[in-house]
Amino acid sequence: MGQEIQKVFADHTLCLSVDVDGEWCNDTPQVIVDFSSRTAFPRTIELCREHGAALVIGTTAITKEDVDHLRSLGQDVPVIQSFNFSVGVNVLKMILREFSSYLSDWDLEIVEVHHNRKKDAPSGTALLLKEATGRNCPTHSLRMGGVPGDHSVFFSNEGEVLELTHRALSRTVFALGALRAAQFAVTAEPGFYAFEEVIACAPKKSSS
């Protein structure tokens, strides 16, 4: 993801980098983008406070306590947090929140597939989708090959099946979402934002 983010942000200046080999900084960043691991989380918070930088964070497996720290940081700088920066997944989440109640008497299960190096199961995205349905449904995780991320939500009764599926074809979609969130963060007021709030602020196309 770090490589994908650098490709997508190629028109912007990289002035801060942190990885397992250390860190370097040659200017003051406006936005820090973190898609690493929870072990880097405390340092990320420190760097945002040190530079007064906004934060776009897609780190998975963070805890409720971590989210509380992000909300606290959001009192001073814009913070955009999501377990998935795909536009499609976030629209799917909105659809589930809006319409799942119409299928409350149907069976419901979620299946997610990711590459075999993904550490958490179920994925943070699957948990977000589950939360959006408002139900405590079974969630199934498959770890295979190099799949960037597939999520399917199944509703079924005795006579029909409704399947809602999102498939990420490459990790680039998450990097593009991070860029969109960073562009939002540059002009946003301090606060704690979900990525769907960034999507909702997208300019509407003219009907003329």
Q: DSSP of 86-106, one letter per residue?
A: -HHHHHHHHHHHHHGGGGTTS
Distance CA 195, CA 174 (A): 11
Measured distance CA(188)–CA(53) in Å, rounded? 12
Q: Considering 114, 130, 151, 166, which one is annotated as catalytic?
A: 114
Q: 205 an active-site residue? A: no
Yes or no: say if 25 and 189 are a contact pair by the CB < 8 Å rule: no
Cα–Cα distance between 144 and 131 in angstroms, integer? 25
**Integer Cα distance of 128 and 95 in angstroms:** 12
Residues 132 and 128: their CA atoms lie apart, in Å, by 6
Whether 12 is catalytic is: no
d(CA 89, CA 85): 8
Burial of 23-47, coded b for 16+ CB within 10 Å and e otherwise, reads: eeeeeebbbbbbbbeeebbeebbeb
Which of 12, 69, 118, 140 is the catalytic position? Answer: 118
Catalytic sites, residue numbers: 114, 118
